[in-house]
């Protein structure tokens, strides 16, 4: 498969986030793309249905990927996600050795959507700041303006009910 645009992969993440919401979880989705452009793994949030407090899409995907692939392979991969990775997810991405992250909307925008909802006490901490404290030059691309509003729409009517 030839490498697609960031928008292509992020729109697939948005579909995964819809599926996550429909299955009873919070509306987030992520996927892993190898250096040739093939989607090798997809993941929605599982924290509610699986009762796992760390069940964010990115953390779960990073853990699964670290079991399935070598660190060298993962360094050449890109993790796409609907929303900027929180501090926990950024840490999981770092430790899994995934070399690039592309996200649709910022953590700050997510905080505007979730407000003070106790189900998602969103950080106001950009993933670039988390990665900057590490020893690996993880590349970060985002937000991607072409899909930012699409990513936010999946959250409408979900938070603070």
- Whether 126 shows a pLDDT value over 90: the answer reads yes
Contact status, residue 100 vs residue 79, Cβ threshold 8 Å: yes
Taking the C-alpha atoms of residue 61 and residue 142, their distance in angstroms, rounded to an integer, is 19
First to last CA, the chain: 42
Query: Residue 118: what pLDDT?
Result: 76
Query: Residue 125: what pLDDT?
Result: 87
- How confident is the model over 13-19, as a mean pLDDT? 98
Query: Residue 161: what pLDDT?
Result: 65
- Whether 141 shows a pLDDT value over 80: the answer reads yes
Residue of 127, 89, 92 lying closest to 106 (CA atoms): 127
> pLDDT digits over 50-84, tens only?
998 899 999 999 999 999 999 999 999 999 999 99
Contact status, residue 44 vs residue 23, Cβ threshold 8 Å: yes
Sequence-ordered strand ranges (E) for the chain: 29-33, 39-44, 78-83, 100-105, 139-141
- Whether 115 shows a pLDDT value over 80: the answer reads no
- Whether 1 shows a pLDDT value over 70: the answer reads no
- Whether 148 shows a pLDDT value over 80: the answer reads yes
Report, as residue numbers or ranges, the catalytic residues.
Answer: 58
Lowest mean pLDDT among 24-28, 69-73, 120-124: 120-124
- Whether 122 shows a pLDDT value over 80: the answer reads no
Taking the C-alpha atoms of residue 81 and residue 122, their distance in angstroms, rounded to an integer, is 16
Phi first, then psi: give them for residue 24, nearest 5 degrees: 100, 10
Query: Residue 143: what pLDDT?
Result: 97
Taking the C-alpha atoms of residue 161 and residue 152, their distance in angstroms, rounded to an integer, is 17
Taking the C-alpha atoms of residue 10 and residue 71, their distance in angstroms, rounded to an integer, is 23
| Residues contacting residue 66 through CB under 8 Å, at least 6 positions apart | 74, 95, 96, 97
> pLDDT digits over 93-111, tens only?
999 999 999 999 998 888 8
- Whether 123 shows a pLDDT value over 80: the answer reads no
Taking the C-alpha atoms of residue 93 and residue 130, their distance in angstroms, rounded to an integer, is 11
């Amino acid at each position: 498969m030839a490498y697609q645009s960031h928008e292509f992969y992020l729109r697939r993440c948005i579909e995964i986030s819809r599926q996550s919401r429909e299955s009873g979880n919070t509306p987030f989705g992520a996927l892993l793309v190898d250096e040739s452009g093939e989607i090798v793994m997809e993941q929605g949030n599982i924290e509610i249905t699986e009762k796992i407090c760390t069940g964010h899409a990115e953390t779960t995907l990073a853990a699964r990927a670290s079991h399935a692939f070598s660190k060298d392979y993962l360094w050449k991969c890109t993790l796409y996600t609907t929303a900027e990775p929180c501090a926990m997810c950024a840490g999981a991405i770092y430790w899994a050795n995934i070399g690039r992250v592309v996200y649709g909307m910022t953590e700050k925008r997510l905080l505007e959507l979730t407000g003070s909802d106790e189900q998602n006490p969103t950080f106001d901490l950009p993933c670039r700041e988390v990665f900057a404290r590490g020893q690996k030059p993880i590349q970060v691309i985002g937000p991607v303006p072409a899909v930012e509003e699409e990513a936010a729409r999946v959250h409408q009517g979900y938070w603070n009910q």
